[in-house]
Amino acid sequence: MELRRLVRGRVDWPRLEAVARELQTRYGREELRIRFLEADNWLSTPMVVDDEWFVKVISRQNSLVHALFTTTRNLGAFSSGREGFFEHFGTPFQMAEHELEATRRMRKIGVNAPEPVEAFEVDGLGVLVLEYLPNFRPIDELDREREANLAPDVFASLRRMHDDGLAHGDLRAENVLIVEDEVFFIDATNVSEGSEDDARSYDIACALAAFEPLIGAKASVAAARESYDTDELLSALEFLDFVNIRPDHDFDAAALKGEIEKCAS
């Protein structure tokens, strides 16, 4: 438990109080109601403020863990015969700034995402403030029929991002939220300029990996085919083994490969 706390970079209470005071000042509130989320998040301390804002507090330790994750993912890309395309940020504030900008870009092109508010720094901590989405559910907490019905919408939104030159970089079921049957994306990461094609293929592979345990390989590939052609799916196929070694994905890579290969035959 102590090792997990160390790696996750739990923020001491006095520093969290400093963040709360800054939020009070910025938003003119005499008091705040703060609810910390029991999220399995290694890259921030997430909390809900006044049921109005979703706030991520990012520490230096979170930034170091992000650097470790980035290196590991790039090694995985190398193992797939591709250059690494994930990028790290130098400071917690830069991590917060990037997610704010990525959220703005998604909304600008018509992809649902929480409304971005601001990013700022307090006592060396990066603080990201977004709109809080009430009554959301991660897509993997729905029933199978709804998951299958929403899968084409997820791939369509992903296609819109890719057509605009934006890659998500960390697509998992918990990063796809459903609010009143609308698909919202959160937690986009950073990819290198010039590596967009590989990053898009990786995104597709991650989306297929997220859906396969929920609706099966055949339905997952069928949903992807509504937005991506066979060549694009074949390119994603090359990343499935890489995605399969990630501890936050658990899926049948062989079944997905078989369905993609059927499309190409």
pLDDT per residue rounded down to tens, the chain (265 residues): 443 444 455 788 999 999 999 999 999 999 999 999 876 567 789 999 999 999 999 998 887 776 666 666 666 666 666 666 667 677 999 989 989 999 999 999 999 999 999 999 999 999 999 999 998 999 999 999 999 999 999 999 999 999 988 888 889 999 999 999 999 999 887 665 666 788 899 899 999 999 999 999 999 999 999 999 999 999 999 889 888 887 778 999 999 999 999 999 8
Its pTM stands at 0.87
Question: Burial, 193: exposed, middle or buried (Cβ in 10 Å; 0-12, 13-18, 19+)?
Answer: exposed
Helix (H) or strand (E) holding 177: strand 176-179
Domains assigned to the chain? 2-131 (3.30.200.20), 137-264 (1.10.510)
Cα–Cα distance, 226 to 228 (Å, whole number): 6
Q: What's residue 121's pLDDT?
A: 98
pLDDT for 85: 61
pLDDT at 222: 98
| Cβ count within 10 A of residue 21 | 12
Distance CA 14, CA 80 (A): 44
What residues contact 14, with CB distance under 8 A and at least 6 apart? Answer: none
Q: How far is CA 265 from CA 17, 173, 260, in A?
A: 60, 30, 9
Closest-CA residue to 154 (of 206, 78, 102, 100): 206
Check: CB of residue 230 under 8 Å from CB of residue 200: no
Distances (CA, A) of 64 to 6, 8, 9, 43, 204: 11, 10, 9, 9, 27
Strand pairing partners for 130?
Answer: 54, 116
Q: Look at residue 250 in the predicted model and tell me its pLDDT.
A: 93
Quote the pLDDT of residue 1. Answer: 40
Phi-psi region of 198 (alpha: psi -120 to 50; beta: other; left: phi over 0): alpha
The rounded distance, in Å, linking the Cα atoms of 11 and 130 is 20
Residue type, 153: D
Q: Is 172 left (phi over 0), alpha (psi -120 to 50) or beta?
A: beta
Give Cα 112 distance to the centre of its chain: 13
Q: What is the C-alpha separation between 102 and 92, in angstroms, rounded?
A: 16
Tokens of 31: 């008091």
